[in-house]
Amino acid sequence: MLRTVKQLVKKAIELTSGFTWHDYYLLRSLRHFWWLYPWAFSYRTTIRLPRIERVAPNAASDSSVELCERISKAYRLAVEDPGPECDVSSMWQTHMEAKYGRLKSLLGGEPRPLAEALASMFSSEMVSGIDTGDLYRGRNWRVYSRRTLDDLVSLAEQLGVRRTESGGTIIGGAFSAGLPKLLRDTEAALGCSLDVPRIGAPYGVVIDGTLLTIQSCEYAYVALRLSQALQDRLGTNAVSVLEIGGGYGGAAMFVARLMPVASYTIADLPIVNVLQASFLGSVFGGHAVNLFGENRLARFSIIPGTSVKRLGRVGALFNENSMPELPLEASTSYLRWARENVQLFFSYNHETISPSGKGAIATVSEIVGQVDGFARKSRNYSWLRPGYTEEIWVPTSNTPGR
């Protein structure tokens, strides 16, 4: 009994040392939450947490400076293109005012300082609200490592390469053959590498030479589910995709790894377009991105939300983790356009509504209800993040028999 109490006290000290509110959120969002108290189980495999490793920033190259010159020009054009889709929630307004000032000032100057700053964006405040950025302090490495492994095991369970855990008897069984075997089995079933490019000074766990960040497995999972939705509903995944709100471009990268899309467009706030252009342009080359105001034939197009209505028809609309947080005027505007211009809408979002109005404003179902003209074809619970739902919506004008 005394030993158990000592273990509890030790664990409490470890877990609370250097903690932030975000660390508690990461632990609360574990799918395998019982991993936090393995001492309560008689049958368990030891879960050895790899330490978080930081990737050093790359030096600003001539190509990155050239890309940043294009990015700055596109940003200036975009901020002069106002419209309802550029409205932001109070939560995002707070993020931009507190965290995006340095990036905005750099966009008004020479391209080299911007390229040097973006070379460390994943370890900075520049990705606030999109990735963990400067929230990782080093002392809380166990939280980030545990959450990353939680996602990896969840992905392996969804793909059927490991048994699902219930927290009932044996725990940690997915680790019995070692982390490298778990990773390789998962990648083989997924059909692509989970390795994160060493761009922007990311940090995460390194398993057998493969870098996993805290978001990478979830991006891969969502890209997989989108690919499956396109194949099941449209009979192909070689279609044009429009992503509303693209984070830093992580989902787009995995979509490109998993499926032969005809074209991939990201529509977002101009300041977030900067991060997407920097990341995707660094990963795939500057020639692979077409920025606002340009007319390049490229793999990815990155535009402000205001220009969505100028697009032609696209095969699929995709939104991950942002539409519930858009002002209702903006989200309904997107869906009214989509009702006439897309074949399928794939949503991966939470449904937690904030009474204060500072967080989520409306669920996707409620937004669709405001617009009308869509039929929900499926609704599933996410395998990777508690509280998140995957929904497939089809415009009724595209529904057989209508």
Per the domain annotation, does 359 fall within a domain? yes
Question: In this predicted structure, what is the pLDDT of residue 2?
Answer: 53
Q: Which residues pair with 245 in a beta bridge?
A: none
Per the domain annotation, does 343 fall within a domain? yes
Percent of the chain with pLDDT over 90: 75
Per the domain annotation, does 211 fall within a domain? no
Distance CA 104, CA 111 (A): 12
Q: What is the mean pLDDT of residues 250-254?
A: 98
- Which phi-psi region, left, alpha or beta, contains residue 384 (left: φ > 0; alpha: ψ -120 to 50)? alpha
Report the candidate in 285, 322, 310 with the shortest Cα–Cα distance to residue 300: 285
Using alpha carbons, list the distances in angstroms from residue 368 to 329, 373, 381: 12, 8, 19
Q: With cut-offs at 50, 70 and 90, classify the pLDDT of residue 87.
A: low
Q: Which residues pair with 204 in a beta bridge?
A: 53
Helix (H/G/I), strand (E/B), else coil: 300: strand
User: Which CATH number does the domain housing residue 304 bear?
Assistant: 3.40.50.150
Name residue 289's amino acid.
Answer: V
Contacts of 225 (CB under 8 A, 6+ apart): 346, 348, 390
Question: 79: number of CA atoms within 13 Å, CB side?
Answer: 11
Better-scored residue on pLDDT, 140 or 222: 222
Name residue 231's amino acid.
Answer: Q
Q: What is the mean pLDDT of residues 87-102?
A: 76
Distance CA 145, CA 162 (A): 19
Helix (H/G/I), strand (E/B), else coil: 356: coil
| Count: domains in the chain | 1
pTM of the predicted structure, to 2 decimals: 0.92
Per the domain annotation, does 205 fall within a domain? no
Provide φ and ψ at 129, rounded to 5°.
Answer: 85, -5
Per the domain annotation, does 376 fall within a domain? yes
Per the domain annotation, does 171 fall within a domain? no
Predicted confidence (pLDDT) per residue in 24-67, tens digit: 889 999 999 999 888 787 766 778 899 999 999 999 999 999 99
Q: With cut-offs at 50, 70 and 90, classify the pLDDT of residue 75.
A: very high
Question: Encoding tokens for residue 254?
Answer: 């995995």
Q: What is the mean pLDDT of residues 127-146?
A: 92
Distance CA 388, CA 393 (A): 16
Per the domain annotation, does 73 fall within a domain? no
Distance CA 209, CA 129 (A): 28
Domain hosting residue 393, numbered range: 218-398
Q: What is the mean pLDDT of residues 178-195?
A: 98
Name residue 121's amino acid.
Answer: M
Predicted confidence (pLDDT) per residue in 296-352, tens digit: 999 999 999 989 999 989 999 999 999 998 888 899 999 999 999 999 999 999 998
Per the domain annotation, does 4 fall within a domain? no
Paired sense of beta strands 203-207 and 53-54, if any: antiparallel
CA angle 197, 208, 120 (to 5 degrees): 30
Provide the 10 A C-beta neighbour count for residue 96. 18
